[in-house]
Structure 1
Amino acid sequence: MTDRAGTVAQESDLIDVKALVHAYFTLHPDVSIPEQKVVFGTSGHRGSAFDTAFNEDHIAATTQAIVEYRTKEGITGPLFIGRDTHALSRPAETTALEVLVANGVRALSDEFDGYTPTPAVSHAIITYNRAGHDDQADGIVVTPSHNPPRDGGFKYNPPHGGPADTDATSWIAKRANEIIEGGLRDVKRAEPTAVETYDFLGNYVDDLKNIIDLEAIKKSGLHIGADPLGGASLSYWEAIRDRYGLNLEIVNPVIDPTWRFMTLDWDGKIRMDPSSPSAMASVVARRHDFDILTGNDADADRHGIVTPDGGLMNPNHYLAVAIQYLYANRPGWRDDAAIGKTLVSSSMIDRVAESLGRELLEVPVGFKWFVPGLVDGSVAFGGEESAGASFLRFDGTVWTTDKDGIILALLASEILAKTGKTPSQLYVELTERFGAPAYERVDAGATKAQKAALGKLDGDAIAADELAGEPITAKLSHAPGNGAAIGGVKVVTEDAWFAARPSGTEDVYKIYAESFKGEEHLREVQREAKKIVDAALG
């Protein structure tokens, strides 16, 4: 960690916005270079125009590939498109619209030319498709989420409204790279004059009463702080305040593509991560000014919860509290609706699920795994340790199938209004019942070959039968909840576990670890985890 973490960005930390946009239009990728290809991770294609990794050619080709994918899949309805506040988002949205219009796709952008959170796009897709039309809608969100200001991002959401699965993104990326390699000859483009509009904000905000008890929040008079962190949720928080009469203050109503008002993240970069204590330092400093204070990232698919008594909550802690509260206070949900978590999330959630008598659906990293359950109501809540989650409406029907940081932030106010206790106080109560786990993610160096081997490693390849003094009870390479490959391994004992996964962007692998026996035992788990994984990799 740099000693500047948590300090306000300086002029030397800021991007040159004009230079970045110029690079978007003038640099052309060579897809024989891996770093310049279209590559979809768990949240779309991301990169910087400065690195020739997110440029006009990428977006034109990817949009054309999406058009062809829609044709292949028989998707003929409207395509909802939204963008966040990153500097590259507007030019990329314009490029995409040029291609969509030229191909005769009915594209719908924001009615007020505003910024659009990821959950608002997911909500729009689901709203259209549940209305009984003869065709189906899908969408594009132009965002790199919480990534630094130099980056751009481009996500495709098919008709289920959530992140596209690997089959779809692999096909789209492969075709996009073929198009770039072919000199963009297959790309159709036209002036985007035939673009329709959609009131993303109005439809989303008006519907919030069907998922959050906003009347209870209003009656409580809670003084709420909401920090959009310079992102797409700014106008949404203003509308929520006005529409529902909340005592809500926008902590920082500034949008600036350099994000000069942010405090630096752990590595000295500007990163709009609402779960990072360093990135949220200026927000946390105001925790005593509000009864509850929240933050969102640039596309509002993540949340950060700040309380006067506990500061910034660890995302795992808040997920456990949210689950405990929701399953006890949503009688319209199915009695057999499961609790969804990624396998690198805290085992506190396992213990809460068991106490509630609910099935636990443990899946690989990636919100896409929760989509089928959220759609049919068999999973009422899906959450990731990286502060992304969504849940069902009061009546047990689907709200969004992508992460929604706005409803998770509002839920913190509902919890305080209805229970009289902050989420951090409720988490302390959970630890008194189930124990207090120590959790941390660390990185370990790995070559590309080692990363590739780890991604395909079978649990049976792990020779160890003990971890930090406890017998190993499970060696997993596939998620218990759905049998899908986890792209790494997870090793479990009665009181601890670790999971190891290769990084998609750096020459490291990530070790997630947790112990219910304290910090010292966690360190022992981490040390042995590295030895176990290194031995398995050979």
Structure 2
Amino acid sequence: MHERAGTPATESDLIDVEALVRAYYELKPDASVPGQRVVFGTSGHRGSSLTTSFNEHHILATTQAIVEYRAAQGITGPLFIGADTHALSAPAQTTALDVLVGNQVRVLVDEYDDYVPTPALSHAILTWNNDPAKRAEGEADGIVITPSHNPPQDGGFKYNPPHGGPADSDATSWIAARANELIEGGLRGVLQAEPSAVETYDFRGAYVADLANVIDFEAIRRSGIRIGADPLGGASVSYWGAIRDAYGLDLTVVNERVDPRWAFMTLDWDGKIRMDPSSRNAMASVVAQAGSYDILTGNDADADRHGIVTPDGGLMNPNHYLAVAIEFLFSHRDGWRPDAAIGKTLVSSSMIDRVAASLGRRLWEVPVGFKWFVPGLVDGSVGFGGEESAGASFLRFDGTVWTTDKDGILLCLLAAEIRAVTGKSPSELYAELVERFGDPAYERVDAPANAAQKAALGRLDGDSIAATELAGAPITAKLSHAPGNGAAIGGVKVETADAWFAARPSGTEDVYKIYAESFRGADHLAEVQAEAKRIVDAALGS
């Protein structure tokens, strides 16, 4: 933990936006250098222009690769494109548009030149493809330009195919390989043209108007609860006011500032500026206002993550809120299939397992990455999909798909619906779950890791774990593949009856993550964490 974690950023913490954008155009990547290649993690290619990992050549090549991929897949409809508030997002969108227009791709940008949240782009793709008349013109797909909650110096570039969610590894591997091939070839084969005019689409209007089919606004309005929403300087900044006006809510946008330096933020755990609404350090200034609202929320830069603050509990642990959201939804959505499953990533809390069992619902446990929930959300066989990192989405009232990417705005609005319908805050409802099922202690620890260390950790499997006990209890499972769909988890998970840990490399930052949970209290959790490190070190031979 950095000594200044949770304190306001100072001038020395801020990026030089002009230098960052200049480096985007001036620095040229060398594809023979691993750190300068196009690499898609769990949510697209990310990097910084200052380290020659997110520059104009990366976006030229990656966009051309996406054009070729969609052509090979027979995708002939429009491509929706949107960007968040990071400093590198606007130049990257300009670069991408040059390539898309140069390849004669029909492309739709925001009608009001506004920022576009990730869920609004997913919603646009699905809305087009679910309309038979539109679909007859060709399936749509999209590009969202965002590094999500990453620091201000970072950029991100993500492809969403016609299902509206994050592209799977087959698609991203092909796109990355082709992009690197284009960079190595001096960008020969990249077509560009000045976009004199492109079509527009009202992302905000379409998304906000359709929210009535997934959130009970009448209950929220009737309750009169006070809602505060902080976009944390991100892409949802104009969406919250539009939601307030459309549905007549007592809702205050507590921070309408957009600053690519994020000078108004408090520092995260490691002393960096990071727009993570699930971090008590990054959300410190928001939490300080908790007493002024019945529900106070935060979103990250592309609004695919949520943070829920209550006057009685402060910032909720994302796992706690997911468990409450699941119990509420599966008790208040009669239009969902009776066999609709509860989707969770295998590093999410086991409290969700116990809630699922009490509801008589099937638990569908998948690896980290929201892409795994896409098929179930599309066909309605999964009612809710959520990640411990504060990302989730769920079905409409009628059991049909809403978004197939994470929707932080939706989950924030759900917190208001929960408060309005039950008369209790989500943190009060979590306390009731604790009384029924026990009080798990959960923590994720991040630590620096280089590429070689991350690769070694990603190759671990259950057979490489020699231990038979974890913190005094027999090990009941050593997993390298997710129980829900059998997919490799890119690490390991070790379980006992009352505790577990999972170790995996980050797909977006140079860190590795050890997740651990115990239903036997904080002291036992510390034992689990200590033994987890020893077990992993032994398996890695270090």
TM-score of the two chains, using structure 2 as the length reference: 0.98
Task: Specify the alignment match of 1:34 in structure 2.
Answer: 34
TM-score of the two chains, using structure 1 as the length reference: 0.98
Residues 398 and 268 from structure 1, CA distance in 2 versus in 1: closer, same or farther, beyond 3 angstroms? same
Task: Specify the alignment match of 1:50 in structure 2.
Answer: 50
Task: Specify the alignment match of 1:393 in structure 2.
Answer: 396
Q: Is the 8 A contact 2:42 2:507 kept in 1?
A: no
Given the alignment of the two structures, is residue 96 of structure 1 paired with residue 96 of structure 2, yes or no?
yes
Task: Specify the alignment match of 1:218 in structure 2.
Answer: 221
Alpha-carbon distance in structure 2 between the residues aligned to 1:241 and 1:503: 36
Task: Specify the alignment match of 2:152 in structure 1.
Answer: 149
Given the alignment of the two structures, is residue 82 of structure 1 paired with residue 85 of structure 2, yes or no?
no
Alpha-carbon distance in structure 2 between the residues aligned to 1:449 and 1:258: 31
Alpha-carbon distance in structure 1 between the residues aligned to 2:70 and 2:198: 18
How far off is 1:445 after superposition? Answer: 6.7
Task: Specify the alignment match of 2:23 in structure 1.
Answer: 23
How far off is 1:455 after superposition? Answer: 1.5
Q: Is the 8 A contact 1:444 1:530 kept in 2?
A: no
Cα-to-partner distance string for 1:42-98 (whole Å, 9 max, x where unaligned) = 010111111111111110110000000011100000000010011111111011011
Q: Is the 8 A contact 1:99 1:190 kept in 2?
A: yes
SS of 2:147's equivalent in the other structure is coil
Q: Is the 8 A contact 2:46 2:508 kept in 1?
A: no
Given the alignment of the two structures, is residue 381 of structure 1 paired with residue 384 of structure 2, yes or no?
yes
How far off is 1:505 after superposition? Answer: 6.2
Q: 2:487 aligns with which of 463, 484, 489?
A: 484
Task: Specify the alignment match of 1:432 in structure 2.
Answer: 435
How far off is 1:507 after superposition? Answer: 6.4
Query: Unpaired runs of 5+ in structure 1?
Result: none
SS of 2:148's equivalent in the other structure is coil
How far off is 1:446 after superposition? Answer: 6.0
Q: 2:182 aligns with which of 176, 179, 182?
A: 179
Residues 509 and 272 from structure 1, CA distance in 2 versus in 1: closer, same or farther, beyond 3 angstroms? closer
How far off is 1:457 after superposition? Answer: 2.0
Task: Specify the alignment match of 1:117 in structure 2.
Answer: 117
Cα-to-partner distance string for 1:320-351 (whole Å, 9 max, x where unaligned) = 00000000000000000000000000000000
Task: Specify the alignment match of 2:304 in structure 1.
Answer: 301
Query: How do residues 4-23 of structure 1 correspond to structure 2 at under 5 angstroms?
Result: 4-23=4-23
Alpha-carbon distance in structure 2 between the residues aligned to 1:31 and 1:532: 36
SS of 1:497's equivalent in the other structure is strand
Alpha-carbon distance in structure 2 between the residues aligned to 1:510 and 1:153: 21
Q: Is the 8 A contact 1:333 1:395 kept in 2?
A: yes
Q: Is the 8 A contact 1:490 1:500 kept in 2?
A: yes
Cα-to-partner distance string for 1:259-302 (whole Å, 9 max, x where unaligned) = 11111111111111000000000000000011110000000000
How far off is 1:503 after superposition? Answer: 3.5
SS of 1:486's equivalent in the other structure is strand
SS of 1:70's equivalent in the other structure is helix
Amino acid corresponding to residue 95 of structure 1 in structure 2: T
Alpha-carbon distance in structure 2 between the residues aligned to 1:63 and 1:303: 29
Task: Specify the alignment match of 1:65 in structure 2.
Answer: 65
SS of 2:410's equivalent in the other structure is helix
How far off is 1:535 after superposition? Answer: 1.6
How far off is 1:509 after superposition? Answer: 3.2
Alpha-carbon distance in structure 1 between the residues aligned to 2:533 and 2:13: 34
Q: Is the 8 A contact 1:436 1:518 kept in 2?
A: yes
Task: Specify the alignment match of 1:513 in structure 2.
Answer: 516
Give runs of ≥4 in structure 1 deviating > 2 Å. 443-454, 502-509
How far off is 1:448 after superposition? Answer: 4.9
Amino acid corresponding to residue 308 of structure 2 in structure 1: I
Alpha-carbon distance in structure 2 between the residues aligned to 1:175 and 1:139: 18
Amino acid corresponding to residue 402 of structure 1 in structure 2: D
SS of 1:275's equivalent in the other structure is coil
Residues 506 and 83 from structure 1, CA distance in 2 versus in 1: closer, same or farther, beyond 3 angstroms? closer
Alpha-carbon distance in structure 2 between the residues aligned to 1:11 and 1:445: 25
Given the alignment of the two structures, is residue 530 of structure 1 paired with residue 533 of structure 2, yes or no?
yes
Q: 1:421 aligns with which of 421, 424, 441?
A: 424
Number of matched residues? 538
Amino acid corresponding to residue 364 of structure 1 in structure 2: P
Alpha-carbon distance in structure 1 between the residues aligned to 2:184 and 2:190: 12
Alpha-carbon distance in structure 2 between the residues aligned to 1:151 and 1:508: 15
Amino acid corresponding to residue 476 of structure 2 in structure 1: T
Alpha-carbon distance in structure 1 between the residues aligned to 2:60 and 2:455: 30
Query: How do residues 124-523 of structure 1 correspond to structure 2 at under 5 angstroms?
Result: 124-132=124-132, 133-134=135-136, 135-443=138-446, 448-504=451-507, 509-523=512-526
Alpha-carbon distance in structure 2 between the residues aligned to 1:442 and 1:375: 33
Amino acid corresponding to residue 413 of structure 1 in structure 2: A
How far off is 1:461 after superposition? Answer: 2.2
Alpha-carbon distance in structure 1 between the residues aligned to 2:237 and 2:87: 16
Amino acid corresponding to residue 278 of structure 1 in structure 2: N
Q: Is the 8 A contact 1:287 1:308 kept in 2?
A: yes
Alpha-carbon distance in structure 1 between the residues aligned to 2:421 and 2:523: 37
Residues 396 and 524 from structure 1, CA distance in 2 versus in 1: closer, same or farther, beyond 3 angstroms? same
Alpha-carbon distance in structure 2 between the residues aligned to 1:454 and 1:20: 32
Amino acid corresponding to residue 313 of structure 2 in structure 1: G
Cα-to-partner distance string for 1:157-188 (whole Å, 9 max, x where unaligned) = 00000000000000001100111111111111
SS of 1:189's equivalent in the other structure is coil
Cα-to-partner distance string for 1:338-368 (whole Å, 9 max, x where unaligned) = 0000000000000000000000000000000
Query: Unpaired runs of 5+ in structure 2?
Result: none
Residues 505 and 212 from structure 1, CA distance in 2 versus in 1: closer, same or farther, beyond 3 angstroms? closer
Alpha-carbon distance in structure 1 between the residues aligned to 2:490 and 2:78: 34
Alpha-carbon distance in structure 1 between the residues aligned to 2:122 and 2:394: 13
Alpha-carbon distance in structure 1 between the residues aligned to 2:65 and 2:216: 42
Q: Is the 8 A contact 1:101 1:194 kept in 2?
A: no
- Pairwise CA RMSD of aligned residues? 1.1
Task: Specify the alignment match of 2:2 in structure 1.
Answer: 2
